[in-house]
Amino acid sequence: MKKPTHKHKFSTNTRGQVGIGTLIVFIAMVLVASMAAGVLINTAGLLQSQAEATGQESASQVVDRVGVISASGTTVFGNEDIMSEIDNGAEIDDFFDGEKIGDVDSPEDAIYKIELTVKKGPGSNPIDLSDMTIEIANAGEVNILTYVEPVEDGGAYNLIPEDADNFFLVDNIRGSADQSLTDSADRSKIVILLGSPTNRDVAYTEIDDEEVSSHDNSGHSTPSVAQEGEDLEIILSPGQGSRTPVRLRVPQSISGDSVVRL
């Protein structure tokens, strides 16, 4: 049998086209991989930033707190204005809401003002006391207090704002004068008035060297006065940070004392 004599000829004209197609596919794969890598890098950066922010916030929640250095209570007996009026025939319920003084018969037996000397806790960031809330439990009731700033009225006393109920005041002792604790050496005094003060003609406390009175004779709703042997539970909650619980006890006998340690 005779073998075929023709030969198959293979065209080489498409070799360049195949090479270019492969190069295009390779470049496309590189671009896709680069884009994917960019997305991953951006996502990783975002997650890292979020993690850092969350970590800082969590640390603030743990570290940022108010430290209580001391606590004292002022009796009605320790208020010269009120006692002068009582000596002239006034009654204790001329200065406080009768429902908030309970069965107190003598002004010597009632604490109408609590003062907490505070600082910022170790390692804490600056704390704005005006953003803080205070929960106080006494006389079978619980009240949430918020900060108010006394207002000038042109009279003998600065006044508690007219619409203020369940409030506390801040007296700056040492450091910044804007109700903030920014340095470990800063000291402020938190002032809590009890008994719903009702009389505009007497000073109930002193804030930043200015005497402060009730806005009018209708009174401001506040927690009840604290009596002998009574326990008070207070929780200080800054705008951001951890809460500080404080447990206070009024001495069994406060008669005749102007100020007592709690």
- 118-147 confidence digits (pLDDT tens): 999 888 899 999 999 999 999 889 999 999
Q: How confident is the model at residue 57 (pLDDT cuts 50, 70, 90)?
A: very low
Query: In this model, does residue 58 exceed pLDDT 50?
Result: no
φ/ψ (deg, to 5) at 34: -65, -40
Nearest to 188 by CA among 146, 130, 241: 130
What number is the average pLDDT over the span 197-222? 88
Task: Please check whether residue 227 is in contact with residue 215, taking contact to mean a CB–CB distance below 8 angstroms.
Answer: no
Q: Which residues of 48-58 are buried (b: 16+ CB within 10 A; e: fewer)?
A: eeeeeeeeeee
H-assigned helices in 72-140: 80-87
Least confident of 19-33, 73-87, 112-126: 19-33
Query: In this model, does residue 191 exceed pLDDT 90?
Result: yes
φ/ψ (deg, to 5) at 36: -65, -40
Task: Please check whether residue 260 is in contact with residue 254, taking contact to mean a CB–CB distance below 8 angstroms.
Answer: yes
3-state secondary structure of 236: strand
d(CA 192, CA 148): 11
φ/ψ (deg, to 5) at 117: -85, 125
Q: How confident is the model at residue 105 (pLDDT cuts 50, 70, 90)?
A: low
Q: How confident is the model at residue 55 (pLDDT cuts 50, 70, 90)?
A: very low
Token pair, residue 88, equals: 């002239």
pTM of the model: 0.76
Query: In this model, does residue 13 exceed pLDDT 60?
Result: no
What number is the average pLDDT over the span 192-197? 93
Which residues neighbour 8 within 8 Å (Cβ) at sequence distance 6 or greater? Answer: none
Query: In this model, does residue 14 exceed pLDDT 70?
Result: no
